[in-house]
Amino acid sequence: MPAELIDGAAVAKKIRGEVAVRCAALAARGIVPGLSVVLVGDDGGSAAYVRNKEKASIEVGMRGETIRMPATTTQDELLAVVDRLNADPAVHGILVQMPVPKQIDPQAVIRRIASSKDVDGFHPVNVGKVLIGERDGFAPCTPAGVHVLLQEYGVETAGKHVVIVGRSNIVGKPMMALLIQQGAGGDATVTVCHSRTPDLAWHTKRADIVIAAVGRPGTITGDMIRPGAVVIDVGTSRVADPTTKSGMRLLGDVDFATVSAVASKLTPVPGGVGPMTIAMLLRNTVRAAEQTA
């Protein structure tokens, strides 16, 4: 029996609806949640992603703003913009789109954003809060979205063995932190695998839940999955495909054909984790606004 597909687009739509209700409640009190996204340079993929963020924020009743800066922008110039946004009470969420040009230190930028406005969840204060389980911080949007998907689809994590493939600060590490907390969506035993892990399949075959986040298409195949396991594919890689209109195709880290024949539940790419990232960004932003009300 093929795996049940986890519909991230449907869950994201539900979350956006909930965010719109919360925005309306704030608007009735004279508060319009504001999300400012800063884009440095002209990377096509980043620009498209930023447009989607701005559009999504406006649709739920937020003030969406995109600040575009040239690729020649210096670090001091970017930090000055961040300082201005930090000081603006109409701005509740700040996001500097990564990657930034090589002359800019991304960590210096992340640390400059006020932790109370860091809706991307990368500031060290928020990283620490997520790790120790404090609820007033902001978790990074992609792992937070995975966390919600597991709960929405009734995937039990308590007492289960989760294998995360990938140890990035964006997904792997915060995903681990969310899953080991006490309470709903937590209490899991978590193994984090990475490029130096010998015999990756030995670990994944013993997992109740596998979360793949390495950015390499087809890393996880059906023979690496225990029958009935839940598989979450976070990967998104664009590969050439002359059969499509754009000439490109989006692939995940999971070999869909072989894994879907073994797993009980599986996120597709696209349409799985991807839509959840922006939805969780909106949720973080409205919560940041509520915390200032």
Catalytic residues: 53, 97, 120
Residue ranges of the alpha helices (H) in the chain? 8-27, 44-59, 75-87, 106-112, 124-132, 141-152, 172-179, 200-204, 256-259, 274-292
Exposed e or buried b per residue across 172-204, where buried means at least 16 C-beta atoms within 10 angstroms of its C-beta: bbbbbbbbbbeeebbebebbbbeeeeeebeebb
Question: Per the structure block, which two tokens stand in for 266?
Answer: 């599986």
CB 281 within 8 A of CB 142: no
Distance spanning both ends of the chain, measured CA to CA:
50
Name the CA dihedral angle for 49, 52, 56, 58, rounded to a multiple of 10 degrees: 110
Neighbours of 250 (CB within 10 A): 17
CB 222 within 8 A of CB 262: yes
Enumerate the β-bridge partners of residue 34.
63
Give the Cα separation of 199 and 123 in Å (integer). Answer: 33
CB 249 within 8 A of CB 21: no
Give the Cα separation of 233 and 218 in Å (integer). Answer: 10
